[in-house]
Structure 1
């Protein structure tokens, strides 16, 4: 009975995601045409600029305090490890199955970014609802679960919109500039040929005609060497300038600080500073209406992103057979490799005293390694164009598998932290 109760707790949020995804697919078919290309693009911008920042800011401001940040210091490290290890596994997957260049950003993002938002917000508090739950008093457990899950969502948003977002952006720009790179390569090769053609070493043939003056010949040879050195130095300087220019173009602060990241920073400041909490967050606060409005806007983020996944699925199902190795690879990374590595990391950190001994907290840390890809990947791919269909197929397949894998992992994690 305990297994089946936990099975239903873990299964329900995944089923909700699948149902809303199916609705998005229905709304996107030609017969209805509600979520066409233009509508999807506009909805994407609403999620990116309005709904996403609102949900992160409001949840952080409400649940995070300075005390929580100090106690839960290991969670940012844990989430960062899920992203870095996922990226490394995604890179190996790209090399093994030879993923096309235009899908590199999508694969790395899906392997790195888990759904650290709505699934933990539903699963972790739900574990506490039973009166005979294994995590202590129901009210205390639920309060802690909301704080843990909200911080998880906020950290996920920071890493997704600063780290993964820029990975997708950089690879998208690489795809769009392939032709430009080829042109530049031709120009550089031509310039090198010009340098070789101007190589003064060919003057030695002139010396062969007049070898009476060895001193003059030596001077000319030294001149040749000096010209070659100058050419190499100037070429190196030009390469350095080009690298600095490329780096300056890639580091774009407006892109790095995405709206969701700004919302996270604001939410953390409001939550940590007591004066701001009294003015904005507490129920009797004079400006509580602002926080309440942000909550209303944020509630629309998850349904909107999930509808977009379903809407993009119409295009992706056309080439589903070609994407089968990709789907299988990402499924293995997210549901087998990452959770296994996560168990070693969390249990190791607990053994060395880096994590306080709260089983619910340890359960969430383990859960962060076993989640399906973040739904925000669909928004990123839509923003940059290319790979929308593949992204939707990956989402449908991984969330379908999550109905079983996530449930089994949750059952095992509960046993692990309580044993």
Structure 2
């Protein structure tokens, strides 16, 4: 009997200790998950404060210049230095599921978006616009910021600060080129004017006459060039030139080959060629000064982009909210932040079960999950502006990013508990 009581007491002590450890682990997960979001919110608030009318040292022109600096210089430098140092040909083959995950995220998000939009029935011109706002998440800027804030803490579960930051940045950067292709092909097509007619969104959605297919400005010079070539000499060289220009125009290559994408391609090319990698990315390389300069500039990307994002929120949602309607905005927020992440979790879990993911790489899985849990892509807002939905995109991005502060913390807590 005494032996039985002793065994029971030992079991009770072990169970109590396990419960205490689990409780501490839960608190640790909450702390690790909330702190990066809190850091992001703090920097955004400082940008908001600097742009407010009470301080007013961060005007709209300054924010536009800073956005251009981040997009054209600081972000490409960060991607080039981090991805180039981390990637090899073997790792590129191991990371094949990252771009696939981006594509699957866009497909699943579009399906969810269509279902939500059919149920909500937004105003007619905003049907496909609402689908895009739910379908396309921010797979670049916001995950990079979260990874940087998470890895800065020495108690993070992904290892030492430098390894955590380098791996996380490399994984995120490797998927950005696919996201850019999706943005400037699928999203660009989805946000084209409705087939019944175009709408002047600035003047109250007035239906306009449908222009003929051959009357689009981008097509007219091509047809005129082809006709002139045919009438003049009908040379093979002229036909080939016209065809190449047509392909370049139709594929939107100028829009796809943005600075961050060019930086990703260069990093992958140089990083997978051992001779070039030793020449540029190793610390004792003769050209490492260039990489080191990119590292210095890349470190400035995180604070600059957060200050710009916070400053952009100072104008609020604007008139776009009334055009879309509260019901549609709520549907976009719920669809993007609540409905899409569980589907992404299912995709990543299934891929892990099928053996598609590298064994034991927690950061790899964490980045895949983050790709499904982010707010709407800021670049999709830029494409929407090109297609005439600028104010509506600003309103949707404003509200989605406000609520994403809370949902991202919740999803990160869940992911850390699943991974660890």
Instruction: Give the TM-score normalised by structure 2.
Output: 0.70
> How many residue pairs are counted as aligned between the two chains?
352
Q: Does 1:118 align with 2:123?
A: no
Aligned equivalent of 1:282: 282
Change over 3 Å in CA distance of 1:32–1:266 after alignment to 2:
same
Change over 3 Å in CA distance of 1:248–1:288 after alignment to 2:
closer
Relative contact order, CA 8 A, sep 6+: which one is greater? 1
Larger helix percent: 1
Q: Secondary structure at the match of 1:330?
A: helix
Aligned equivalent of 1:15: 38
Shift of 1:60: 0.6
Unaligned runs of 5+ in 2: 1-23, 201-206, 216-244
Change over 3 Å in CA distance of 1:147–1:254 after alignment to 2:
same
Distance, in Å, in 2 between the alignment partners of 1:295 and 1:380 is 29
Contact 2:32 2:150 in 1 (8 A): no
Distance, in Å, in 1 between the alignment partners of 2:29 and 2:381 is 29
Shift of 1:150: 2.1
Contact 2:40 2:146 in 1 (8 A): no
RMSD over equivalenced CA pairs, Å: 3.7
Q: Does 1:151 align with 2:155?
A: no
Aligned equivalent of 2:360: 358
Contact 1:110 1:373 in 2 (8 A): yes
Contact 2:87 2:271 in 1 (8 A): yes
Aligned equivalent of 2:304: 304
Distance, in Å, in 2 between the alignment partners of 1:69 and 1:358 is 17
Change over 3 Å in CA distance of 1:109–1:55 after alignment to 2:
farther
1:47 pairs, out of 70, 89, 93, with 70
Contact 2:63 2:308 in 1 (8 A): yes
Shift of 1:281: 1.2
Q: Does 1:401 align with 2:406?
A: yes
Q: Does 1:58 align with 2:84?
A: no
Between 1:355-364 and 1:44-53, the stretch displaced more is 355-364
Instruction: Output aligned runs, 1:221-236, within 5 Å.
Output: none
Shift of 1:247: 8.1
Aligned equivalent of 1:208: none
Contact 1:312 1:392 in 2 (8 A): no
Change over 3 Å in CA distance of 1:310–1:417 after alignment to 2:
closer
Shift of 1:324: 4.0
Deviations 1:187-246 (A, max 9, x none): 99xxxxxxxxxxxxxxxxxxxxxxxxxxxxxxxxxxxxxxxxxxxxxxxxxxxxxxxx99
Between 1:66-75 and 1:310-319, the stretch displaced more is 310-319
Shift of 1:366: 2.8
Shift of 1:159: 3.0
Q: Does 1:36 align with 2:59?
A: yes
Instruction: Output aligned runs, 1:378-389, within 5 Å.
Output: 386-387=390-391, 389=394
2:345 pairs, out of 337, 340, 343, with 343
Shift of 1:76: 2.1
Contact 1:102 1:171 in 2 (8 A): no
Distance, in Å, in 2 between the alignment partners of 1:36 and 1:348 is 47
Contact 1:377 1:391 in 2 (8 A): no
Instruction: Output aligned runs, 1:30-179, within 5 Å.
Output: 30-95=53-118, 96-98=120-122, 101=125, 105=129, 108-109=132-133, 111-116=135-140, 117-119=143-145, 121-122=147-148, 125=151, 129=155, 138-139=159-160, 145-146=164-165, 148-166=167-185, 169-170=188-189, 174=193, 178=199
Shift of 1:113: 2.1
